[in-house]
Chains A and B, each alone.
Chain A
Amino acid sequence: MERSRPSSPTHSPTEYAKGESEDFSALRRLLLSPEQVQLDRLRQRLDTFVIGPQEVSRVLPDAIRLRARQDNRLLASMLPITQEALALSIKQSPQLISDSIAPILGAAIRKAISRAMREMLQSLNQTLEYSMSWQGLQWRWEAWKTGRPFVEVVLLHTLRFRVEQVFLIHKKTGLLLNHVMADGISSQGEAAISGMLTAIQDFVRDSFQQGQDEGLESLRIGDLTVWIEQGSSAILATVIRGTPPVKLRDFLQTTLESLHVQYWDSLQNFQGDAAVFLETRPHLEDCLQAQFVKRRKGLPVVFWGLTAFLLALLGWWAYQASLNHQQWTELLKRIAAEPGIVVTTIQEEGGRTVFHGLRDPLAVDPERLLEEVGYPPYAAGFHFEPFIALTPEMVRKRAITVLHPPESVEVSIEGSRIILMGESSHGWISKVIRSAPAIPGVSEISLERLVDTDVKQFESLQVELEGQAIFFLSGQETVLNRELVKIRQVKDILQELDTKAVQLGRKPSIYILGYSSPVGSQPTNMSLSERRANKVLEILRETPFHVLKLFATGKGVDPDVKFGPGGGQRYSANRRVSFRVVEPGISPRGEVGAKIGP
C-alpha cells in the first residue's frame, strides 16, 4: 500500500476535512503499518487460498484417526470407494492380489485340509484297527446293542481325552463371543450354556466369598470335564471327554492370554456384537485337541486266527478247484470212451454244464458216470437223443439183452458175427437160432464152440445103455434074479433117454440084441439068442416110453468075442443080451449098428 503525503495549514473546510482524513490515515499508517501489512497479506492468502497436497499429507493420518474415534461416518464414506478400488484392482491385476493373499490363504487352507485329513485318518485308523480284534468285536456287539455308531463306541473306549467344545465367553455379561466344536459333536443353546457357566461361577464365587478374579476352575460330570480359564475380560471354557493332561491347561491359558492381547479393545467395548470375535476361530480350533490310548504293537490273535482261517479256506478252495478239474477231465474221458454215447456240444446253461448229443438206450446212464468220477450232480446235466449204436460193444450188449445167455455161455462179437462159446441147453440154442438174426448189427451166428448139454447127456445115456449086458446060464433064456436088478437099471436109463429124446425132438430106436455061446449048433444058438432078447424086451415093455421104440433081435454068436482053449469065461460072456441105440439118419455107434437094418 502507498503512503499519502501531509497537506498545507491554510485550507477550505472541505480541504480541511480532506486534510484531516489524510492525516488520520497517515497516523494510522504510522501506528499500525506492520499489522496492516500482515493483514493485507493474510487477506491476499485467504482470497487465493488453495489446500495443497503438502498441507493434506501433514494432517491426514491424524485426521483419520481422530474421526474414526468419533464415529463410523468416515468408514461408511470410504467403504464404497474402497470396495470399488479393490474390485478394480482385482480386475486389472489379479496376480498382484493373488500374490498378496496367497501366503495367508494358502496357509489357512493347508491348515484346514491337514486338520480335516488328520481327523479323518485318525477315525479311520481306529475303526480299522479295532474292527479286526477281539475287543473290536466286543465293541461292535456293544454298538449293535446300544444302537450307537461303531466309530462312536471305539472313540469312547480308546479316548484318553478329547476337547469337544470350546466357549469364549465375555466375562462381564456372560455372553458368548465364539464357540467351536469337534467333529461329530452336536450342541444346542450355546448362548444359554455360556450364560449358565458364568452364572454358576458367580454363584460359587458369591457363595464362598471369593474375589472377582477367583473363579471356578473345573467341573466334572461322569466322563466329562469342564475346564474354565479365567481372564480379566474373557473366560475360556472347554468341555473335555476323558482325562486331559495338565499341559493342556497351560495351552488353554496361553491361548486366552493371547486372545486378550489381540482383542483387548474389542473385549473392553463389547456391546453384544460378537462379529469381531469370529476371527478367534483358528485359535479356538487349536484347543480342540485329542489323545488316544496307544495300542500295543503286534497284530491281535484274532487277526492271526482269521489269517490262518482264510489261508485254510484258500487251500481248501484250491484243493477243491484242482479236484474239480480232475473230476471234469475224468468225466470227459469217460463220456468220450463210453460206447453208445456221442457228445455233439457242451454248453453252460443256468450255471451248469449241459452235454448235448445221442445216447443208445443200452449205454451207461451218464448220471452214474457223474457219481463214479465224483463230479457234483448239480454242476452237470445231460440232454441226449436216443439212437442205436452199431459198435461191437453195443451189439454185444444188445445181444445179451435180447438173448439172456446163461452164465455158462460167453458172447463175443467179430464184425457182424456173434460168437457163442460154452455150454447151454438145447432150448436156449434153439432160441438163439430164432432170435439172433433180428438183433441190429448181427448177420451171422457162430455155434461151433457152443456145446448142447442135452445132446451131451443123451449121448452119455446112450453110452451107458450100450455098456449094459444081461447074462444068462448056458442053454437057458430065463432071466436070473440077479440080472433082474440090472434090467431095472436099464429101464431107468431108458426112461431118461426117452425124456431127453423128447427134449431133443429125436425118435431113437433101441435094439435089444441077444447072443449065445458057440457051444451047440448055429440054428440052436440063433434061436436061443432070439429068445433071450425077446425075454428082456418083454420085461422092458412093462414100462411105457414116449418116443423110444424097442426092438429085440437074436444075433447068435458074437463075432467080437474070441474063443480059444480055456476060454470058459468068454463063453459065459457070450450068453447075454446087449443094447444098441439107433436113430434114423444117424449111424449107430460101432460096427454093430452098421449091421442092423430095418
Chain B
Amino acid sequence: MIQKKICMLGGFAVGKTSLVRQLVSGIFSEKYLTTVGVKIDQKSLSVRGQDLLLVLWDLYGDDDFQKVRASYLQGASGYILVIDGTRKETVDVAWKLHELARKAIGPVPFAILLNKHDLVDEWVVKHPMISDLSDQACLVSMVSAKTGEGVEAAFFVLSEAILKS
C-alpha cells in the first residue's frame, strides 16, 4: 500500500476539519489543531486498482497565513485549498497559503474545494476571483462539508493526480 501525505489548507472556519470528518472518524481530538496546530487522520482508498493510504494533515486555519507552520507541509504529495464560498476574504488567504506551499514543497498537485455549497444562495465567491488559481489546480470542486457532497470524489481526483505526477 502506498502512503501519501496530503495537507488541508485554508483560512479560519472555512470547514477543513469538517471536510476531513466527512471522510474519516479520526482518533485524535480537534484540540490538537489549536495546540499543536495540526490534526492527522488516515484514509484508505483504492485508486485505479492501487491501494492508497492518505495521511491527512489538517493544518490549523488562521487568516494570518504566517501562523501556518511550513514544516508541517514538508513531504506532502499534494494539498487541498479550502475556500468558504460565503466569505470572499478566504480566497486571498488561499492564495497566500498556495504560495507558501509552493515555496515549501514545490509544484505538487493540489485541489481547490469551494465549501458550503449547501449555502449557495449566500455565495459571494465568483469563478473569476479564483480563475488564476484554478488554472494551476488539478480540481476545482464545490463541496459541502455539511452534506458531504463532493468530498470523497475530490480526494479521489487529487489522489489520481498525485499518482500520475
Asked if B3 and A272 make an inter-chain contact with CB atoms under 8 angstroms apart, the answer reads yes
Give the Cβ gap from B158 to chain A, nearest Cβ, in Å: 14
Give the Cβ gap from B72 to chain A, nearest Cβ, in Å: 6
Query: Within A198-220, which residues are at the interface with B (CB < 8 Å)?
Result: 199-200, 202-203, 205-206
Give the most central of A172, A173, A200: most B CB within 10 Å: A173
Asked if B32 and A196 make an inter-chain contact with CB atoms under 8 angstroms apart, the answer reads yes
Query: How many angstroms from the CA of A57 to the CA of B53 in the assembled complex?
Result: 44
Q: Mark B49-86, 1 if CB is under 8 A from A, else 0.
A: 00001010100000000000101101111000000000
Q: Report if A188 contacts B (CB, 8 A).
A: yes
Residue ID in chain B nearest A188 by CB atoms? B27
Asked if B42 and A199 make an inter-chain contact with CB atoms under 8 angstroms apart, the answer reads no
Give the Cβ gap from B44 to chain A, nearest Cβ, in Å: 9
Give the Cβ gap from A476 to chain B, nearest Cβ, in Å: 152
Q: Report if B38 contacts A (CB, 8 A).
A: yes
Asked if A205 and B71 make an inter-chain contact with CB atoms under 8 angstroms apart, the answer reads yes
Count of chain A residues with Cβ under 8 Å from any Cβ of B? Answer: 24
Asked if B42 and A189 make an inter-chain contact with CB atoms under 8 angstroms apart, the answer reads yes
* Given known contacts A175-B5, A191-B3, A203 and B37 CB-to-CB distance under 8 angstroms: yes
* Given known contacts A202-B72, A203-B36, A191 and B77 CB-to-CB distance under 8 angstroms: no
Give the Cβ gap from B64 to chain A, nearest Cβ, in Å: 16
Count of chain B residues with Cβ under 8 Å from any Cβ of A? Answer: 25
CB neighbours of B27 from chain A (8 A) = 188-189, 192-193
Query: How many angstroms from the CA of A194 to the CA of B74 in the assembled complex?
Result: 14
Asked if A174 and B26 make an inter-chain contact with CB atoms under 8 angstroms apart, the answer reads no
Chain A-chain B contacts (Cβ-Cβ < 8 Å), number: 78
Q: Report if B97 contacts A (CB, 8 A).
A: no
CB neighbours of A271 from chain B (8 A) = 2, 77
Query: How many angstroms from the CA of A191 to the CA of B41 in the assembled complex?
Result: 8
Q: Mark B14-28, 1 if CB is under 8 A from A, else 0.
A: 000000000000111
* Given known contacts A191-B55, A192-B27, A273-B2, A173 and B75 CB-to-CB distance under 8 angstroms: yes
Q: Mark A173-200, 1 if CB is under 8 A from B, else 0.
A: 1111000000000001101111110011
Q: Report if A396 contacts B (CB, 8 A).
A: no
* Among candidates A172, A192, A272, residue contacting B41 with C-beta atoms closer than 8 Å: A192
Residue ID in chain B nearest A273 by CB atoms? B2
Query: Within A272-294, which residues are at the interface with B (CB < 8 Å)?
Result: 272-274
Q: Report if A140 contacts B (CB, 8 A).
A: no
Give the Cβ gap from B58 to chain A, nearest Cβ, in Å: 10
Residue ID in chain B nearest A175 by CB atoms? B3
CB neighbours of B74 from chain A (8 A) = 172-174, 202
Asked if B69 and A202 make an inter-chain contact with CB atoms under 8 angstroms apart, the answer reads yes
CB neighbours of B71 from chain A (8 A) = 202, 205-206
CB neighbours of B28 from chain A (8 A) = 192, 196
CB neighbours of A202 from chain B (8 A) = 69, 71-72, 74
* Among candidates B5, B42, B53, residue contacting A173 with C-beta atoms closer than 8 Å: B5
Q: Report if B40 contacts A (CB, 8 A).
A: yes
Query: How many angstroms from the CA of A314 to the CA of B58 in the assembled complex?
Result: 70
* Among candidates B32, B36, B42, B76, residue contacting A191 with C-beta atoms closer than 8 Å: B42
Give the Cβ gap from A278 to chain B, nearest Cβ, in Å: 11
Asked if A196 and B5 make an inter-chain contact with CB atoms under 8 angstroms apart, the answer reads no
Q: Mark A305-338, 1 if CB is under 8 A from B, else 0.
A: 0000000000000000000000000000000000
CB neighbours of A162 from chain B (8 A) = none
27 contacts between A and B (CB under 8 A): A173-B3, A173-B5, A173-B75, A174-B57, A175-B4, A175-B5, A175-B75, A188-B27, A189-B26, A189-B27, A191-B55, A192-B40, A192-B55, A194-B55, A195-B40, A195-B42, A195-B55, A195-B57, A196-B28, A199-B37, A199-B38, A199-B40, A202-B69, A202-B71, A202-B72, A206-B71, A273-B2
Contacts from A to B (Cβ < 8 Å): 170, 172-176, 188-189, 191-196, 199-200, 202-203, 205-206, 271-274
**10 closest A-B pairs by CB:** A173-B75, A195-B40, A202-B71, A191-B42, A172-B75, A175-B3, A192-B42, A189-B27, A272-B2, A272-B3
Additional pairs, 18, CB under 8 Å, beyond known A175-B75, A196-B32, A272-B77: A173-B5, A173-B74, A174-B75, A175-B4, A192-B26, A193-B27, A195-B5, A195-B40, A196-B38, A199-B36, A199-B40, A202-B71, A271-B2, A271-B77, A272-B5, A273-B2, A273-B3, A274-B3
